[in-house]
């Protein structure tokens, strides 16, 4: 059955459903089909400064911080991120605001026309990414900030040549697609590096050889965390210091992880764009991101939402959580509303979280790849576990039962967070 082509007056939902069915697979790495369509759309060589950000974790926080700083300086910034949490429009932001439905629909019409003229099909991610690029071109954005979806070398974002390449860190995730070692995955991420551009490596880990090799081969200046630039949290917990050769800045902590904020600052400083220290500070204070150590007050209870879903992401979460608990000593216990996808490393994630979480409220997610209750229980053997029929029900009970000394952590998957946000929306 052929998928009927939507029109410009159809809804965004109709178009997104269309792109979900055009191509034979949801993920199809490689640029052979994408490049001819991108060329026809005229998006391959933006008249803009382009930051491309790859990495296993921290891409969202880094790109958000970059955009907030550049918006504060007055640049016309196009920000592309994925996945979205609640609305598809979250993926495409103009000057800090989500793009409207009609702009997306108009771009989808042109992408679909171009791919038909090329005689090619596009995956959902490829089509929607090209639409974002087209919107940035139409809106004459003078800075493009692009978050890589999967890997780097073969990701659709990599059809654009960046002026600054950023790699946040390398962890073991998506091993079926990217390889089963840090070096294999680093090779894929390093694919965003181009000749003679600055490259930031923001991983709090040994610098992978594959990234060093690619930078050397490309004559690209490589700046690595803990080698070429450094960050240190100050004792007051409200400020931190960034240091590199010839530069020392005292900056506010903001709402996101310092490691990712420092990576964004390093990228700004090597970009050649004129930006003041006060603007950097202003941008950091304004930068926030749904689902990345997002702290909210709900019915007088403190709730932290974090979408970390692999060991590296959860280590990151725990580092932030320990800092938070250090400065908020009224919280004596952490309780978790938790679920994961079956194909993730649930055992490693729960082993890390068990050091801090003592009370678990779990349910199976309402998505095809959800981990069944048995798999969740096996990973949480020996823990205090409460089972529920849905994440919404688990969260509702937690809110009722928790006292003010208990901190509520919602974690394990983007889908876990989405279920709670849907519940909160229904309650309004």
Model confidence, pTM: 0.82
Nearest to 419 by CA among 349, 366, 340, 382: 366
Digit-coded pLDDT (tens) for 316-354: 899 889 988 988 899 999 999 999 999 889 999 999 999
Q: Looking at 159-300, which runs of residues are DSSP E strands?
A: 164-167, 198-201, 221-224, 229-233, 239-244, 247-252, 294-298
Rounded to a whole number, what is the largest CA-CA distance in the chain? 63
What does the pLDDT read at residue 172?
A: 66
What DSSP line would sit under 169-188, residue for residue? Answer: ---S-SHHHH-SSHHHHHHH
Reading the block at residue 409, the tokens are 């952590």
* 13 CB-near residues (< 8 Å, 6+ apart): none
What DSSP line would sit under 292-346, residue for residue? Answer: SSEEEEETTEEEEEE---SHHHHHHHHHHHHHHHHH-TT--EEEEEE--BTTS-H
Q: Which helix (H) or strand (E) holds 426?
A: helix 414-427
What does the pLDDT read at residue 1?
A: 37
Reading the block at residue 233, the tokens are 């949290």
CA atoms of 257 and 50, how far apart (whole Å)? 23
* 235 CB-near residues (< 8 Å, 6+ apart): none
Which residues of the chain are under the pLDDT cut of 50? 1-2, 26, 177
Digit-coded pLDDT (tens) for 353-394: 999 998 999 999 998 889 999 999 999 999 999 999 999 999
SS (HEC) of 24-70: CCCCCCCCCCHHHHHHHHCCCCCCCEEEEEECCCCHHHHHHHHHHHH
Could you tell me where the DSSP H helices lie in 118-231? 124-138, 175-178, 182-189, 209-217
| Strand duo 357-362 + 294-298: pairing | unpaired
What does the pLDDT read at residue 4?
A: 79
Q: Which helix (H) or strand (E) holds 77?
A: strand 77-80
């Amino acid at each position: 059955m052929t998928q009927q082509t939507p029109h410009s007056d159809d809804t965004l939902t109709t178009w997104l459903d269309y792109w979900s069915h055009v191509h034979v697979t949801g993920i199809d790495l490689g640029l052979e089909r994408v490049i001819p369509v991108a060329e026809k759309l005229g998006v391959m060589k933006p008249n803009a400064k382009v930051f491309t950000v790859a990495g296993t974790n921290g891409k969202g926080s880094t790109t958000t911080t970059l955009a907030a700083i550049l918006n504060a300086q007055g640049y016309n910034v196009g920000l592309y991120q994925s996945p979205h949490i609640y609305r598809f429009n979250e993926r495409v932001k103009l000057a800090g605001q989500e793009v409207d439905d009609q702009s997306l629909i108009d771009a989808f019409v042109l992408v679909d026309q171009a791919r038909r003229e090329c005689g090619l099909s596009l995956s959902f991610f490829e089509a929607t990414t090209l639409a974002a690029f087209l919107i940035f071109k139409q809106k004459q954005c003078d800075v493009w900030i692009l978050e890589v979806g999967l890997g780097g070398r073969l990701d659709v974002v990599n059809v654009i040549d960046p002026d600054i390449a950023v790699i946040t860190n390398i962890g073991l995730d998506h091993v079926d697609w990217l390889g089963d070692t840090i070096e294999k995955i680093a090779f894929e991420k390093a694919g965003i590096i181009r000749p003679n551009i600055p490259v930031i490596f923001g991983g709090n880990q040994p610098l992978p050889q594959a990234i060093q090799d690619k930078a050397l081969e490309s004559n690209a200046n490589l700046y690595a965390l803990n080698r070429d630039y450094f960050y240190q949290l100050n004792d007051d917990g409200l400020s931190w210091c960034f240091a590199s050769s010839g530069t020392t800045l005292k900056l506010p902590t903001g709402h996101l992880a310092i490691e990712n904020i420092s990576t964004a600052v390093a990228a700004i400083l090597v970009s050649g764009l004129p930006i003041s220290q006060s603007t950097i500070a202003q941008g950091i204070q304004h930068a926030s991101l749904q689902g990345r150590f997002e702290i909210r007050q709900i019915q007088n209870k403190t709730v932290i939402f974090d979408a970390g879903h692999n060991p590296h992401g959860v280590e990151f979460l725990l580092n932030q959580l320990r800092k938070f608990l250090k400065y908020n000593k009224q919280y004596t216990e952490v309780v978790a509303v938790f679920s994961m996808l079956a194909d993730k490393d649930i055992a490693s994630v729960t082993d890390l979280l068990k050091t801090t979480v003592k009370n678990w409220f779990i349910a199976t997610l309402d998505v095809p790849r959800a981990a069944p209750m048995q798999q969740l229980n096996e990973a949480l053997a020996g823990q205090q576990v409460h089972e529920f029929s849905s994440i919404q029900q688990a969260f509702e009970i937690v809110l009722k039962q928790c006292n003010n000394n208990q901190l509520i952590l919602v974690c394990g998957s983007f889908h876990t967070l989405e279920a709670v946000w849907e519940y909160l929306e229904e309650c309004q």
